Amino acid sequence: MKRKIVEIDREKCNGCGLCIPSCAEGTIRIVNGKAALVADNLCDGLGACLVECPRNAIRIIEREAEAFDEHAAEETHGAMAVGSGVGIQPAVHQAGGCPDSRIMTRKCAAVPDEKEQYASRNSRLAQWPIQLRLVPVGAPFLENADLLIAADCSPFAYADFHRDFLAGKALVVGCPKLDDNRYYTEKLADIFQKSPIRSVTLVRMEVPCCGGIEAAAKRALVAAERNIPLKVVTVGMDGTIR
């Protein structure tokens, strides 16, 4: 079958191995001093490894390849998939696949405790739209703004997202796994060039694929040639700050 799959340029690769931890399926190994794809059926073609390569030696191509075998990938890289130390609390159920799409559950309080019940729950969202694709480059709320870039899942994972991150900031959200990360880079670069942004805070999840939105922001700052302070916050899948 013809499908999208990772290709590694061995001429560009220096064997640093930074791509290996981000490959949740364990299909990238160092072979003879260079990164290599060890089996087509273990690569999901989503390209979480791309953002980690400092030499741009990895890209996604479309070619004839075996279909992705999730079960084989889980067996090959079970240690990373289940025991990677991602901080999931006890009493968790997990089922295979890439860490950002693996099914899991964890015990949470059924009702808020007394302190939570009477705490202020006012929204800190001060603008609309918020989806990165929909936000106009010259939107007035970007003028002299402290910009918050958030991966889609982070506001749901982190209970006090509004209070701790959103207050006083302009917000854009996106998911690098479900969207075109190159578009994110170009759109953010356009925003950085045309809007006087004062600072950028990026809130992402700890899963490998979420590194795409961090990479997009960093590349956009370089492309825009803007020296804007950037702070990256990583949220664990148990809702804690890493």
Instruction: Supply the range of the domain harboring residue 31.
Output: 2-73
Same structural domain, 161 and 231: yes
Is residue 167 situated within a structural domain? yes
| Tens-place pLDDT, residues 73-128 | 766 655 443 343 333 333 344 444 455 555 455 565 555 565 555 555 788 999 99
Instruction: With respect to residue 140, please indicate whether it lies within any of the assigned structural domains.
Output: yes
* pLDDT tens sequence across 51-65: 668 788 999 999 999
Q: Model's pTM, two decimal places? A: 0.62
Q: How many domains does the chain have?
A: 2
Q: Specify the DSSP class assigned to residue 96.
A: S
- Give the residue-averaged pLDDT of 219-223: 92
Which amino acid, 25?
E
Triad 146, 148, 149: Cα angle to 5°: 140
Note the pLDDT of residue 227: 92
Last-in-domain residue among 73, 94, 113:
73
Instruction: Round to whole Å and give the CA distance between 161 and 107.
Output: 20
Residue 146 and residue 217 in one domain: yes
Domain boundary among 73, 93, 110: 73
Pick the more confident residue, 227 or 16. 227
Cα separation, 96 vs 72, whole angstroms: 10
Distance from C-alpha of 157 to C-alpha of 150, rounded to nearest angstrom:
12
The two tokens of residue 55 are 């030499």
Name the more confident of 75 and 203: 203
Looking at the domain assignment, is residue 60 inside a domain?
yes
Q: Is 44 left (phi over 0), alpha (psi -120 to 50) or beta?
A: alpha
